[in-house]
Amino acid sequence: MTDGTAQTPEQATQTGPYRVLARKYRPGTFAELIGQAPMVRTLKNAIDSGRLAHAFVLTGVRGVGKTTTARLIARALNCVGADGNGPPTTEPCGVCRHCTAIAESRHVDVIEMDAASRTGVDDVREIIDGVRYAPGDARFKIYIIDEVHMLSRNAFNALLKTLEEPPPHVKFIFATTEIRKVPITVLSRCQRFDLRRVETASLKQHFANLATKESVAIDDDALAMIARAADGSVRDGLSLLDQAIAHGGGAVDAAQVRDMLGLADRARVLDLFEAVMAGDIKTALANVRDQYNSGADPAAIIEDLLGVTHWLTQLKAAPDVESGDALPEAERRFGERIVGRLAMPALTRAWQMLLKGLEETRSAPTPIGAAEMTLIRLAYAADLPSPADLVKRLQNAAPGGAASPAPAPPSGGNGGASMARGNGGGGRAEPAPMAQPEIQASGLPQPRSFQDVVALAIEHREGMLEAHLTDNVHLVRFQPGRIELRPGPRAPADLIGKLSQRLSEWTGTRWIVTVSREQGEATLTEQKQASDARIHNEVIEHPLVRAALRAFPGAQVTSIIESTVAEAPALDEDAIIDPDMDDTGELDL
């Protein structure tokens, strides 16, 4: 453990091998912890007032200082000061025998255990047996269990009683990255501290200070890249800084860090996002291919686009969200310029498509191809109307049922999204394969045929009613609001009244259903059977089918699938297939 003073190369050579920055600059006091002010304040108040819990649990992402904080707590509780008579303190001296031994992980009364490798009941039983004995030298016997969530269920159960009523000379400190995997019975017996992700601005400043101590010249943009890549983890960021210093040989710039991390150029990413959202596919593909040829990872490009989308969405929803000094001036101007041209539905749609594209890019055999396909889809969808706009257009449809013409697409772009709408605009819509109920202004469907009535029964899960309407009634007359039926002998007595009531509920309009003695049409089931029989007979009589059945004795037509392929011209069935083969072994056609 050091006091934060950097070693010169000569000193490093004299005192021992090089130590990585994460170990060299590990905090030795609570004041050196960055980004954890609330936790530090609570611990200081507890130690100063003597209100010390018997068990602590520290949780947070990797590299934010959980183990370091546990050792600082152990030092604070056992420090005796330079004179050897001091009480527990929030500012350990760092020079007494206890501070020195704890810093070097050799104190006999501070036992550290890695629960990832020692997960069983036998390992916990060693702790339970050792708790009974007083500390050999220190004020408290302290057990630090790292990755405590890895303990087995039986190990947790074995620890519960001791954890609830430990001797006064024992303190437990647990550290975990998966707090939800720790049983609630354990958490309820501990004082919990959540270590936050360190903000990017704080990490950047911290790394700049360490670079100065190491006599390394590093650009602000390079520091910002490392801080963003650290994702709130001090240890991860220090490891990246170590790598960048080695990569740059004493002077680090943004280009070197970008190459080291495989990142895309931030300016190129902003240009790429603007081109995609404008529908300019040619420019977008040239941009992403240029970044790929420069060494950028396709998945990293999509991740950067996701970051831009998230930032612009925040800027759209809350304009002051990025008012801090951490945002470069060029990006701030870009955001102010482009955010007014993008609607919130377009941004949220871009987020969803990029998120799906990132998953495809990571799993695709050719990541660059998947990334390009993602950008093509996004470019064509950028100018499409939102679902809300489509609903409004349907609601504002003309009385004849034709929707009002769609507004012209915004200028700019290559027309990818505009072409998608232009194919349907001005042209005749394709007829629907079957009639669909009209939609009233109230939003309730209005059947236009008896088949629509049956479809409504299916939609509302009226299975019995649908079965009777299909099998046991004959339609005599149908018009909106009035139906005449002839019930069959198996139809229930209350079918007519029930149908009238259900139709009124489903449509919001009064329907009159009456009984008629006229013959009427065949039931829907009979009509379906007759249609199937007619189609079956037509297929059986087709020359190709007849020839196939004759060529393969015993073959039967078991199912018929409609096809859109044009019907073949009539052929002489006797010349189609001849089961006799010539001397060459080929069919004689």
**DSSP line for 379-442:** HHHTTSPPHHHHHHHHHT--TTSPPPPPPPPPS-S-SHHHHHHHTTSSSPPPPPSS---EE-TT
Are the CB atoms for 165 and 57 separated by under 8 Å? no
- Residue 81 and residue 255: Cα distance in Å, rounded? 48
Are the CB atoms for 270 and 308 separated by under 8 Å? yes
Instruction: Return per-residue pLDDT of the chain as tens, 589 residues.
Output: 334 444 444 444 445 677 888 888 888 888 888 888 888 888 888 888 888 889 999 998 888 889 999 999 999 898 988 887 888 888 888 888 888 898 888 899 999 998 888 888 888 888 888 888 888 888 999 999 999 999 999 999 999 988 988 898 999 999 999 999 999 999 999 999 988 888 888 888 999 999 888 888 888 888 888 888 888 889 988 998 988 888 777 788 888 887 787 665 678 888 899 999 988 899 999 999 988 888 888 998 999 899 899 989 988 888 765 544 456 666 777 888 888 888 888 898 899 999 999 999 999 999 999 999 999 999 888 666 666 665 666 566 544 444 444 444 443 444 333 333 333 333 333 333 334 444 454 567 788 888 888 888 888 888 888 888 888 888 988 888 888 888 888 888 888 888 888 888 888 888 888 888 888 888 888 888 888 888 888 888 888 777 777 777 777 777 787 655 444 444 444 444 444 444 443 333 3
Look at residue 507 in the predicted model and tell me its pLDDT. 83
Largest CA distance in the chain: 116
| Residue 589: count of CB within 10 angstroms of its CB | 7
Angle at 380 between CA 298 and CA 306, to 5 degrees: 40
Look at residue 387 in the predicted model and tell me its pLDDT. 62
pLDDT tens digits, one per residue of 62-119: 888 899 999 999 998 989 888 878 888 888 888 888 888 988 888 999 999 988 888 8
| Residue 89: count of CB within 10 angstroms of its CB | 16
Look at residue 357 in the predicted model and tell me its pLDDT. 94
Look at residue 560 in the predicted model and tell me its pLDDT. 80
Are the CB atoms for 102 and 69 separated by under 8 Å? no
Q: DSSP letter for 263, please.
A: P
Look at residue 328 in the predicted model and tell me its pLDDT. 64
Measured over the CA atoms of residue 249, residue 250, residue 255 and residue 256, the dihedral's sign is: positive
SS (H, E, C) 207-256: HHHHHHHCCCEECHHHHHHHHHHHCCCHHHHHHHHHHHHHHHCCEECHHH
**Buried/exposed 469-479: b ≥16 CB within 10 Å, e otherwise:** bbebbbbbebe
Is the CATH code 3.30.300 the one for domain 440-521?
Answer: yes
Are the CB atoms for 357 and 374 separated by under 8 Å? yes
Three-state DSSP state, 127: helix
**CATH assignment, 36-194:** 3.40.50.300
pTM recorded for the entire structure: 0.55
- Residue 499 and residue 364: Cα distance in Å, rounded? 54
| Side-chain-facing half-sphere of 197: CA atoms under 13 Å | 12
Look at residue 6 in the predicted model and tell me its pLDDT. 44
Look at residue 353 in the predicted model and tell me its pLDDT. 93
Domain boundaries, the chain: 36-194, 266-381, 440-521
CATH architecture designation of domain 266-381? Up-down Bundle (1.20)
For residue 338, what are the contacts with CB-CB under 8 A and spacing of at least 6? Answer: 274, 277, 312
pLDDT tens digits, one per residue of 455-495: 888 888 888 888 888 888 889 888 888 888 888 888 888 88
